[in-house]
Amino acid sequence: MSNTIKVPTMAEMMANGETPEILFWVGCSGSFDDRAKKITKAIVRILDHVGIKFAILGSEEGCTGDPAKRAGNEFLYQMQAMQNITTMNMYGIKKIVTGCPHCFNTLKNEYPALGGNYEVVHHTQLVQELINQGKLKVNGGEFKGKKIVFHDPCYLGRANDVYEAPREVIQKLDVELAEMKRSRANGFCCGAGGAQMFKEAEKGNKEVNVERAEEALALNPDVIAVGCPFCNTMMTDGVKHFNKEGQTKVLDIAEMIANANDL
């Protein structure tokens, strides 16, 4: 694994008269959640390894407004969105990569109505592109021959029809990719979307994440692969619920690629 990587902010790059190819949108989870920070670092290691010139907004990045909007606070969402759009337009941002499907969906589909027009890609799409272009060579490493189950994030799959990129990237690791009964367009939520992540569960007889984890664990996978920090939290909690953390790991696809290839 490489040493510490210095990630420049947009402000620093502009001060040096430089323009990055891509803005890495870190997101709230990727910035503040200790588990999700590992995903952020994995994405940074991949970007650095292939030599893409990228930057982050740093302290100028605010929440996209997705949780506020999904929870019904449109006014707060628009305030948060406008602040981000003003900042990004000031820097002339053209292309954004993000590790969070919630940020991805909001930036891609909802910011244009407020004057924020950018090319937005999810990190699995970027990794697939880099592999296809021959810029990123990967091997299976520690995952070779292992059984992997991929859980489709709602805002990546059903909301944006991105099903193949994450699966293609996983298969490059020379693994056995197993599918749950509910997958792709027929996928099932981890239980965190729509701002549910931040509130107590409603009445019912089973937590959504327990239901989903049970479905994944029924296939006896070595790894449950995810492409969203919220899904990561929910699936990890689900695996713990069944005391299976010794047998099954929950990992983001970026972590799998970075770890398998010592980036």
Q: What does the pLDDT look like over 174-224, one tens digit per residue? A: 999 999 999 999 999 998 776 776 667 778 788 889 999 999 999 999 999
Residue position matching structure tokens 């010794």: 246
Give CA–CA dist 37/30, Å, rounded. 5
Q: What pLDDT score does 220 carry?
A: 96
**Both structure tokens of 71:** 């929870």
- pLDDT, position 204: 78
Burial of residue 45 (number of CB atoms within 10 Å: 0-12, 13-18, 19+): buried
pLDDT at 1: 44
Q: Which two tokens stand for residue 116?
A: 């924020």
* The two structure tokens encoding residue 178: 């197993």
Helix (H) or strand (E) holding 221: none
Measured distance CA(186)–CA(234) in Å, rounded: 19
Q: What is the pLDDT of residues 20-57, one digit of tens each?
A: 999 999 999 999 999 999 999 999 999 999 999 999 99
Length of the chain: 263
Report residue 121 as tokens: 């890609």
Between CA 189 and CA 198, with CA 193 as vertex, the angle to 5 degrees is: 130
Q: In this predicted structure, what is the pLDDT of residue 21?
A: 96
Instruction: Work out the angle between the directed axes of helices 253-260 and 123-132 (0-180°, nearest 10).
Output: 40
> Average pLDDT for residues 233-255, to the nearest whole number?
96
Q: Residue 3's pLDDT is what?
A: 63
Strand, helix or coil for residue 21? coil
CA distance 25 to 27: 6
Closest CA to 246 of 228, 220, 214: 220
Instruction: Pull the structure tokens for residue 193.
Output: 């979307």
Express each pLDDT in 3-17 by its tens digit: 688 999 999 999 999
3-state secondary structure 92-110: CCCEEEECCHHHHHHHHHH
Give pLDDT, residue 182: 95
> Strand 95-98 vs strand 22-25: parallel, antiparallel, or unpaired?
parallel
Query: Percent of the chain beyond pLDDT 90?
Result: 90
| Cα angle: 84, vertex 89, 92; to 5 degrees | 130
Q: In this predicted model, what pLDDT tens digit does every residue of 76-119 receive, in sequence order?
A: 999 999 999 999 999 999 999 999 999 999 999 999 999 999 99
Cα–Cα distance between 113 and 65 in angstroms, integer? 14
What is the distance between the alpha carbons of residues 65 and 81, in angstroms, rounded to a whole number?
6
